[in-house]
Amino acid sequence: MTRHGLRTLAARNTAMIETAAYVPAAVMSELLGIHINTAEQWTELARSNWADYLAAAST
């Protein structure tokens, strides 16, 4: 998709936040094949307010 000029990072991040909002970190880790610490970080972002998310996304 990137080759065709379509950016996917924003869509990926949105999908991860939405998943983390409804699925426990351990389940998210297993389903997506990501490390448990990464899943926990997404869960924390999903629980925080948008200002926290935007600050983390800009780094």
What are 29's two structure tokens?
A: 């880790």
In a domain, 1, yes or no: no
In a domain, 53, yes or no: yes
In a domain, 43, yes or no: yes
Indicate the Cα dihedral angle 57, 53, 42, 10, nearest 10°.
Answer: -50
Question: What domain range includes position 14?
Answer: 8-58
pLDDT in tens, 6-58: 788 888 999 999 999 999 999 999 999 999 999 999 999 898 766 766 777 77
pLDDT value for 2: 74
In a domain, 3, yes or no: no
pLDDT value for 19: 96
- Count how many domains the chain has: 1
pTM: predicted TM-score of the whole model, two decimal places? 0.70
In a domain, 34, yes or no: yes
If we measure between CA atoms, which residue out of 53, 19, 47 comes closest to residue 33?
19
What are 18's two structure tokens?
A: 């939405």
pLDDT value for 14: 92
